[in-house]
Protein backbone atom coordinates (compact mmCIF):
# COMPACT_ATOMS: atom_id res chain seq x y z
CA UNK A 1 0.00 0.00 0.00
CA UNK A 2 1.31 3.44 -0.98
CA UNK A 3 0.04 6.78 0.32
CA UNK A 4 0.30 9.96 -1.72
CA UNK A 5 -0.15 13.45 -0.28
CA UNK A 6 -0.48 16.19 -2.92
CA UNK A 7 -0.17 19.67 -1.42
CA UNK A 8 -0.60 22.81 -3.46
CA UNK A 9 1.56 25.63 -2.11
CA UNK A 10 -0.18 28.12 0.14
CA UNK A 11 -1.26 31.60 -1.03
CA UNK A 12 1.61 33.66 -2.40
CA UNK A 13 2.23 37.37 -2.44
CA UNK A 14 1.98 39.55 -5.53
CA UNK A 15 3.09 42.69 -3.66
CA UNK A 16 6.40 43.00 -5.51
CA UNK A 17 5.82 42.86 -9.28
CA UNK A 18 9.58 42.95 -9.89
CA UNK A 19 10.03 39.48 -8.37
CA UNK A 20 10.52 36.53 -10.68
CA UNK A 21 7.78 33.89 -10.35
CA UNK A 22 10.22 31.48 -8.65
CA UNK A 23 10.95 34.08 -5.98
CA UNK A 24 7.40 34.97 -4.97
CA UNK A 25 6.99 34.35 -1.21
CA UNK A 26 3.94 33.39 0.80
CA UNK A 27 1.68 36.16 1.99
CA UNK A 28 0.23 36.38 5.51
CA UNK A 29 -2.83 34.30 4.59
CA UNK A 30 -0.56 31.67 3.02
CA UNK A 31 1.64 31.41 6.11
CA UNK A 32 -1.46 30.95 8.25
CA UNK A 33 -2.87 28.28 5.92
CA UNK A 34 0.43 26.36 5.89
CA UNK A 35 0.48 26.48 9.69
CA UNK A 36 -3.05 25.10 9.84
CA UNK A 37 -2.07 22.30 7.47
CA UNK A 38 0.92 21.50 9.70
CA UNK A 39 -1.42 21.19 12.68
CA UNK A 40 -3.66 18.91 10.60
CA UNK A 41 -0.73 16.64 9.67
CA UNK A 42 0.31 16.48 13.31
CA UNK A 43 -3.22 15.70 14.57
CA UNK A 44 -3.71 12.96 11.98
CA UNK A 45 -0.25 11.48 12.52
CA UNK A 46 0.68 11.69 8.85
CA UNK A 47 4.33 10.90 8.28
CA UNK A 48 5.36 10.84 4.63
CA UNK A 49 8.77 9.19 4.24
CA UNK A 50 9.80 11.31 1.25
CA UNK A 51 8.95 14.91 0.41
CA UNK A 52 9.28 16.13 -3.17
CA UNK A 53 9.11 19.91 -3.42
CA UNK A 54 9.31 22.47 -6.19
CA UNK A 55 12.20 24.95 -5.84
CA UNK A 56 9.84 27.96 -5.92
CA UNK A 57 10.01 30.16 -2.82
CA UNK A 58 6.30 29.71 -2.08
CA UNK A 59 6.51 25.89 -2.15
CA UNK A 60 9.67 25.81 -0.03
CA UNK A 61 8.10 28.22 2.51
CA UNK A 62 4.95 26.08 2.62
CA UNK A 63 7.12 23.05 3.29
CA UNK A 64 9.21 24.88 5.91
CA UNK A 65 6.04 25.62 7.89
CA UNK A 66 4.92 21.99 7.55
CA UNK A 67 8.23 20.28 8.41
CA UNK A 68 7.96 20.65 12.22
CA UNK A 69 4.86 18.40 12.03
CA UNK A 70 6.65 15.69 10.03
CA UNK A 71 8.87 13.06 11.68
CA UNK A 72 12.14 13.48 9.77
CA UNK A 73 11.23 12.81 6.13
CA UNK A 74 13.79 12.72 3.32
CA UNK A 75 13.33 16.09 1.56
CA UNK A 76 14.17 16.51 -2.11
CA UNK A 77 13.90 19.88 -3.84
CA UNK A 78 13.27 18.94 -7.46
CA UNK A 79 13.35 21.45 -10.31
CA UNK A 80 11.18 19.18 -12.45
CA UNK A 81 8.22 19.85 -10.14
CA UNK A 82 8.16 23.62 -10.74
CA UNK A 83 5.15 24.39 -12.95
CA UNK A 84 5.14 20.76 -14.13
CA UNK A 85 2.47 19.08 -16.19
CA UNK A 86 0.58 16.11 -14.78
CA UNK A 87 2.63 13.61 -16.80
CA UNK A 88 5.90 14.99 -15.41
CA UNK A 89 4.61 14.76 -11.83
CA UNK A 90 3.39 11.20 -12.38
CA UNK A 91 6.77 10.24 -13.87
CA UNK A 92 8.49 11.71 -10.82
CA UNK A 93 6.33 9.62 -8.47
CA UNK A 94 7.05 6.53 -10.56
CA UNK A 95 10.78 7.01 -9.86
CA UNK A 96 10.39 6.61 -6.10
CA UNK A 97 12.12 3.61 -4.51
CA UNK A 98 9.89 0.69 -3.60
CA UNK A 99 10.94 1.00 0.04
CA UNK A 100 9.12 4.33 0.23
CA UNK A 101 5.60 3.77 1.58
CA UNK A 102 4.40 7.39 1.43
CA UNK A 103 5.24 10.62 -0.33
CA UNK A 104 4.30 14.29 0.02
CA UNK A 105 4.54 16.26 -3.22
CA UNK A 106 4.45 20.05 -2.75
CA UNK A 107 3.76 21.73 -6.06
CA UNK A 108 1.66 23.93 -8.30
CA UNK A 109 -1.54 24.00 -10.31
CA UNK A 110 -2.76 23.01 -12.78
CA UNK A 111 -0.45 19.97 -12.81
CA UNK A 112 -1.15 18.97 -9.22
CA UNK A 113 -4.92 19.14 -9.64
CA UNK A 114 -4.79 17.12 -12.85
CA UNK A 115 -2.56 14.54 -11.18
CA UNK A 116 -5.03 14.11 -8.31
CA UNK A 117 -7.96 13.74 -10.68
CA UNK A 118 -6.07 11.38 -12.98
CA UNK A 119 -4.85 9.05 -10.23
CA UNK A 120 -8.25 8.76 -8.56
CA UNK A 121 -10.17 5.67 -9.60
CA UNK A 122 -13.56 7.01 -8.52
CA UNK A 123 -13.62 5.12 -5.22
CA UNK A 124 -13.25 6.54 -1.79
CA UNK A 125 -14.68 9.72 -0.40
CA UNK A 126 -17.48 11.01 -2.71
CA UNK A 127 -17.72 14.41 -1.00
CA UNK A 128 -13.97 14.89 -1.43
CA UNK A 129 -14.28 13.91 -5.10
CA UNK A 130 -16.97 16.55 -5.67
CA UNK A 131 -14.83 19.23 -4.01
CA UNK A 132 -11.71 18.18 -5.91
CA UNK A 133 -13.63 18.38 -9.20
CA UNK A 134 -14.85 21.89 -8.39
CA UNK A 135 -11.62 23.66 -7.42
CA UNK A 136 -8.09 23.09 -6.00
CA UNK A 137 -7.41 26.22 -3.91
CA UNK A 138 -3.96 27.22 -2.73
CA UNK A 139 -2.87 25.30 0.36
CA UNK A 140 -5.18 22.34 -0.39
CA UNK A 141 -4.23 18.72 0.20
CA UNK A 142 -5.30 15.57 -1.63
CA UNK A 143 -4.74 12.22 0.06
CA UNK A 144 -4.69 9.13 -2.16
CA UNK A 145 -3.93 5.48 -1.44
CA UNK A 146 -2.77 2.89 -3.90
CA UNK A 147 -2.78 -0.88 -3.42
CA UNK A 148 0.18 -1.10 -5.80
CA UNK A 149 3.47 -2.35 -4.35
CA UNK A 150 5.62 -0.61 -6.92
CA UNK A 151 5.71 3.10 -7.69
CA UNK A 152 6.54 2.42 -11.33
CA UNK A 153 3.12 0.76 -11.71
CA UNK A 154 1.30 3.93 -10.60
CA UNK A 155 -1.02 4.98 -13.41
CA UNK A 156 -4.33 6.68 -14.15
CA UNK A 157 -7.25 5.41 -12.05
CA UNK A 158 -5.10 3.30 -9.71
CA UNK A 159 -5.69 5.20 -6.46
CA UNK A 160 -8.49 5.60 -3.97
CA UNK A 161 -9.31 9.21 -3.02
CA UNK A 162 -9.17 9.24 0.76
CA UNK A 163 -9.72 12.96 1.34
CA UNK A 164 -9.44 16.49 0.00
CA UNK A 165 -8.80 19.20 2.58
CA UNK A 166 -8.73 22.96 2.00
CA UNK A 167 -7.29 25.48 4.47
CA UNK A 168 -10.77 26.93 5.02
CA UNK A 169 -11.82 23.50 6.37
CA UNK A 170 -9.23 23.85 9.12
CA UNK A 171 -10.20 27.33 10.33
What does the pLDDT read at residue 80? 97
d(CA 77, CA 159): 25
Least confident of 19-23, 33-37, 65-69, 100-104: 19-23
What does the pLDDT read at residue 39? 97
**In the predicted model, what is the mean pLDDT of the chain?**
96
CATH code for position 77: 3.40.50.1240
Report in angstroms the alpha-carbon separations of 132 from 8, 14, 118, 120, 128.
12, 25, 11, 10, 6
In total, how many domains does the chain have? 1
Its pTM stands at 0.97
What does the pLDDT read at residue 62? 98
d(CA 110, CA 133): 12
Residue range(s) defining the domain that contains residue 64: 2-140+159-170
What does the pLDDT read at residue 117? 96
How many CB atoms sit inside 10 A of residue 33's CB? 26
What does the pLDDT read at residue 52? 98
In a domain, 154, yes or no: no
Amino acid sequence: MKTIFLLRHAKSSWDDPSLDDLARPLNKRGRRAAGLMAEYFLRRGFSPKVVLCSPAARTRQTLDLLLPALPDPEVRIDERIYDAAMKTLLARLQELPETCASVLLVGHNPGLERLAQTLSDGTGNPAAADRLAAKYPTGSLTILSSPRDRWDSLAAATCRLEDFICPVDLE
